[in-house]
């Protein structure tokens, strides 16, 4: 056997994306280069790692077994580097976090001080929908996920950051019942909270509009297209400028908590461990300096 670490890294990315095209994009390589390295790795085994059916790439059972081993190998190699740097008093490497879209109003404040302290760390922050966040966590593609609702049927550990408060908002200080409700996409934690609220208080009503990001919903409400239940933390400037108004509605706000979660039992890298320690020691200071307006609302 004469495979290389680079080949294993490429194979892992193909397994994660289930596509040579997507793998090449994420690795900043050409498709032919990825295909050649994949073929060179395959040549080391008599059993197929992948197969193509109707132009769709599939990973074989054997390929999945090899991918799991390769992931452990690469993680241990990274740990050698991290351990060496730790002995030298230096933290370098990558910190990878995936955040649900509304988390973008929170997570930067919990990162800036840490990144200033450790200039050798590269940050990869993916702000996406909740479904993709949980998928990345399940696949062990990231160090941490930031969510407002802990996923079902997934064993995780957590560090709570800040309360998440959801209010009914509109572009005027009274509600026009003729206007529709505007929902987030299927799978969004805000969408689920909003559906549950209106089912309990008004019964099911036809959804008139569905948008795929908190920012899109916010702009639609400002434009007068309808009303929505939204996280207070993402609309501060619009409330101050009277572009949005919080509307009185029974049993609001809905309260959850933004938290960092990671797979239970995951062996954290020195960078991940250092970040957790930073969060735990600096959390109160970060909240007081950046979120006083929100905590006192």
158 and 168 assigned to the same domain: no
Write the pLDDT tens digit of every residue in 211-255: 888 889 999 999 999 999 999 999 989 999 999 999 988 899 999
171 and 36 assigned to the same domain: no
- Average pLDDT, integer, range 106-123: 92
154 and 219 assigned to the same domain: no
Q: What is the pLDDT of residue 1?
A: 72
Q: Kindly give, in sequence order, each residue whose CB lies less than 8 Å from that of residue 123, ignoring residues fewer than 6 positions away.
A: 94, 95, 97, 111, 115
59 and 9 assigned to the same domain: yes
Q: Please give the angle made by the CA atoms of 47, 48 and 50, to the nearest 5 degrees.
A: 160
Provide the phi-psi class of 251: left if phi over 0, else alpha when psi is between -120 and 50, else beta.
left
Residue 38 lies in a domain: yes
If you average pLDDT over every residue of the chain, what do you get?
89
Contact 159, 272 (CB under 8 A): no
| Percentage of residues of the chain with pLDDT beyond 70 | 96
pLDDT interval class at 45 (50, 70, 90): very high
159 and 236 assigned to the same domain: no
272 and 214 assigned to the same domain: no
Write the pLDDT tens digit of every residue in 154-173: 999 999 999 999 999 999 87
Q: What is the CATH number of the domain that holds 246?
A: 3.40.190.10
Residue 81 lies in a domain: no
Number of Cα atoms under 13 Å in the Cβ half of residue 20: 17
pLDDT interval class at 86 (50, 70, 90): low
Cα 242 to Cα 258: distance, rounded to the nearest angstrom: 26
Please tell me what DSSP assigns to residue 174.
S
User: In this predicted structure, which of 139-148, 183-192, 260-269 has the lowest mean pLDDT?
Assistant: 183-192
Which segments within 208-269 are labelled E, that is strand? 209-211, 228-231, 245-246, 254-263
Please tell me what DSSP assigns to residue 160.
E
Cα 144 to Cα 272: distance, rounded to the nearest angstrom: 8
Contact 37, 7 (CB under 8 A): yes
What are the C-alpha distances in Å from 160 to residues 32, 75, 106, 147, 155? 45, 27, 12, 10, 16
- Please state whether beta strands 50-53 and 56-59 pair in parallel, antiparallel, or not at all (unpaired): antiparallel
pLDDT interval class at 89 (50, 70, 90): low
187 and 220 assigned to the same domain: yes
Residue 82 lies in a domain: no
- Average pLDDT, integer, range 146-156: 90
List the structure tokens of 287: 């909240």
The whole-model pTM stands at: 0.68
- Average pLDDT, integer, range 92-109: 91
Expressed as residue numbers, the domain containing 159 is: 89-163+257-296
Q: How many domains does the chain have?
A: 3
Instruction: Report CA 154 to chain centroid distance, whole Å.
Output: 15
Residue 45 lies in a domain: yes
Is the pLDDT at 284 greater than 90, yes or no? yes
248 and 204 assigned to the same domain: yes
168 and 252 assigned to the same domain: yes
């Amino acid at each position: 056997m004469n495979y290389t670490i680079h080949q294993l890294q490429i194979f892992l990315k193909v397994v994660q994306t289930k596509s040579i095209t997507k793998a090449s994009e994420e690795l900043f390589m050409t498709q032919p280069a990825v295909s050649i390295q994949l073929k060179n790795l395959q040549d080391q085994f008599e059993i197929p790692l992948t197969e193509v059916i109707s132009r769709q790439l599939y990973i074989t059972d054997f390929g999945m077994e090899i991918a799991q081993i390769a992931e452990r190998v690469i993680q241990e190699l990274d740990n050698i580097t991290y351990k060496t740097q730790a002995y030298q008093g230096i933290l370098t490497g990558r910190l990878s976090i995936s955040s649900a879209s509304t988390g973008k109003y929170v997570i930067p404040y919990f990162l800036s001080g840490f990144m200033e302290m450790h200039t050798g760390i590269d940050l990869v922050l993916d702000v996406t929908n909740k479904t993709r966040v949980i998928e990345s966590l399940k696949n062990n593609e990231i160090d941490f996920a930031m969510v407002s609702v802990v996923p079902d049927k997934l064993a995780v550990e957590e560090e709570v950051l800040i309360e998440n408060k959801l209010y009914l908002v509109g572009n005027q200080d009274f509600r026009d019942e003729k206007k529709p409700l505007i929902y987030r996409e299927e799978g969004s934690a805000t969408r689920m909270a909003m559906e549950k609220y209106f089912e309990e208080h008004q019964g099911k009503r036809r959804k008139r509009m569905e948008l795929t990001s908190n920012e899109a919903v916010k702009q639609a409400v400002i434009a007068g297209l309808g009303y929505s239940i939204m996280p207070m933390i993402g609309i501060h400037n619009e409330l101050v400028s009277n572009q949005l108004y919080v509307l009185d509605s029974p049993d609001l706000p809905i309260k959850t908590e933004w938290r960092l979660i990671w797979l239970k039992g995951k062996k954290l890298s020195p960078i991940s461990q250092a970040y957790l320690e930073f969060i735990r020691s600096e959390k109160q200071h970060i909240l007081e300096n950046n979120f006083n307006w929100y905590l006192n609302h």
